[in-house]
């Protein structure tokens, strides 16, 4: 694939996430603002060694597999379902967001245990594990692009780092299909960089009937998708209009009610116009994760079945061995409303939660845990509905 196609493939993720990071960098010294370090590799992609490609027959190259104890097996203390992977009739293929921030390489070496542990604690336990009530959970480790990719100038060729990452995700998915799927329906789910890889999955695999007929739903969270993009993506995929629709697409991008998503939306619209040559169809898709219904874009806190507070170390080897679970979820604390393509969140807690409130009020890092139990219930509901359609 040439460099132009690299850029086109990952520009949706790059433009939106670059906007997030640039805002963060600009206000690092502002009182109350939070930011993550951006460490730029010293040389362009291709001028630094690439980490070795993963062998997906080796279990060490998977963050989650249903055949072993791992971070995707944890459940909240008050969960009504428990880990149902042993009996699940559906699978979830989960693609994690960016957790690698080093400047040593454009892509994560898979023997980087510090990053692997952070991946397990921060997202496998708090995002992938959402799906263990409906599904066997598969989550590959992959040579993810480092966080600096979203702010790197074109001369650094950072888009090629995302392409390398996608090739790993693709290889892991094909390994799963050949050796684990056995004709089972599946959910594809990704957050942030992972959502960009979901888009690549839809471009390549959604047009093929063998995959289309088995897709329960695609959850691509934390990257904006316009209506026209979805109409054309892989031949077109509909937004899930009800909690029981299948073969459809789900996305949301969360901001605090008091935040200002105008710059985020402006970047999304500009990207849409660049991609399609028109402003027509530029409305950003938003499915409220408290209702999963396009006819119910607004939900009060009473509809929230349970948000997930913080607990350090869940999902790590020692805590798994000791049986440490996720904390109890809190119901009725947080409401949300889809407005102009943005999920506006009401009642975001300030204590006891792992809230990373980015500048402009973006809640990018909390787009699963604030709605944890509603996502969990919906995945069960939607999986059951698949067999009734």
In sequence order, the β-bridge partners of residue 140 are: 62
Distance between CA atoms of residues 320 and 361, nearest Å? 34
pLDDT digit string, tens, across residues 260-295 = 999 999 888 888 888 899 989 899 999 999 999 999
* Structure confidence at residue 359 (pLDDT): 85
* Structure confidence at residue 120 (pLDDT): 98
Per-residue pLDDT of the chain (389 residues; tens, 9 = 90+): 443 344 444 554 554 444 444 333 333 332 333 345 678 999 999 999 999 999 999 999 999 999 999 999 999 999 999 999 999 999 999 999 999 999 999 999 999 999 999 999 999 999 999 999 999 999 999 999 999 988 899 999 999 999 999 999 999 999 999 999 999 999 999 999 999 999 999 999 999 999 999 999 999 999 999 999 999 999 999 999 999 999 999 999 999 999 999 999 988 888 888 889 998 989 999 999 999 999 999 999 999 999 999 999 999 999 999 999 999 999 999 999 999 999 999 999 989 999 987 889 999 999 999 999 999 999 999 999 999 97
Distance between CA atoms of residues 61 and 140, nearest Å? 6
Query: What distances in angstroms separate CA 336 from CA 40, 268, 288, 299, 339, one per listed residue?
Result: 36, 21, 7, 5, 9
Hey, what's the torsion of the CAs at 208, 184, 248, 170, to 10 degrees? -60
3-state secondary structure of 149: helix
Distance between CA atoms of residues 311 and 329, nearest Å? 11
As for how many domains the chain has, the answer is: 1
Distance between CA atoms of residues 314 and 245, nearest Å? 33
Domain that holds residue 357: 3-386
Tell me if 331 sits within 8 A of 317, measured CB to CB: no
């Amino acid at each position: 694939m040439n460099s132009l196609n690299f850029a086109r493939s990952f520009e949706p993720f790059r433009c939106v996430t670059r906007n997030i990071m640039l805002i963060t960098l600009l206000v690092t010294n502002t009182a109350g603002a939070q930011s993550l370090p951006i460490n730029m590799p010293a040389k362009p992609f291709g001028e630094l060694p690439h980490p070795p490609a993963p062998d997906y027959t080796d279990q060490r190259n998977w963050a989650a597999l249903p055949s072993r104890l791992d971070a995707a097996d944890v459940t909240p203390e008050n969960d009504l379902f428990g880990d149902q992977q042993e009996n699940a009739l559906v699978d979830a293929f989960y693609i994690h967001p960016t957790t690698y921030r080093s400047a040593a390489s454009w892509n994560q070496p898979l023997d980087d245990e510090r990053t692997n542990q952070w991946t397990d604690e921060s997202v496998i336990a708090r995002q992938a594990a959402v799906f263990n009530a409906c599904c066997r959970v598969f989550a590959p480790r992959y040579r993810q692009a480092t966080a600096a990719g979203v702010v790197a100038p074109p001369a650094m060729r950072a888009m090629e780092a995302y392409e390398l990452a996608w090739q790993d995700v693709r290889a892991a998915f094909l390994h799963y299909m050949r050796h684990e799927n056995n004709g089972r329906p599946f959910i594809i789910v990704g957050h942030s960089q992972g959502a960009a890889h979901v888009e690549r999955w839809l471009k390549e695999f959604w047009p093929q009937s063998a995959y289309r007929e088995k897709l329960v739903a695609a959850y691509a969270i934390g990257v904006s998708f316009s209506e026209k993009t979805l109409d054309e993506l892989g031949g077109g995929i509909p937004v899930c209009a009800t909690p029981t629709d299948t073969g459809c697409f789900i996305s949301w991008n969360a901001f605090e009610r008091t935040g200002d998503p105008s710059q985020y939306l402006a970047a999304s619209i500009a990207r849409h116009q660049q991609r399609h040559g028109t402003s027509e169809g530029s409305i950003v898709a938003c499915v409220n994760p408290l209702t999963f219904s396009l006819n119910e874009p607004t939900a009060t806190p009473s509809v929230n079945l349970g948000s997930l507070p913080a607990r350090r170390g869940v999902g790590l080897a020692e805590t798994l061995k000791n049986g440490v679970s996720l904390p109890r979820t809190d119901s009725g604390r947080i409401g949300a409303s889809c407005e102009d393509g943005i999920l506006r969140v009401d009642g975001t807690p300030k204590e006891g939660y792992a809230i990373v409130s980015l500048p402009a009020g973006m809640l990018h890092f909390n787009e699963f845990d604030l709605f944890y139990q509603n996502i969990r219930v919906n995945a069960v509901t939607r999986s059951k509905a698949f067999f009734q359609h």
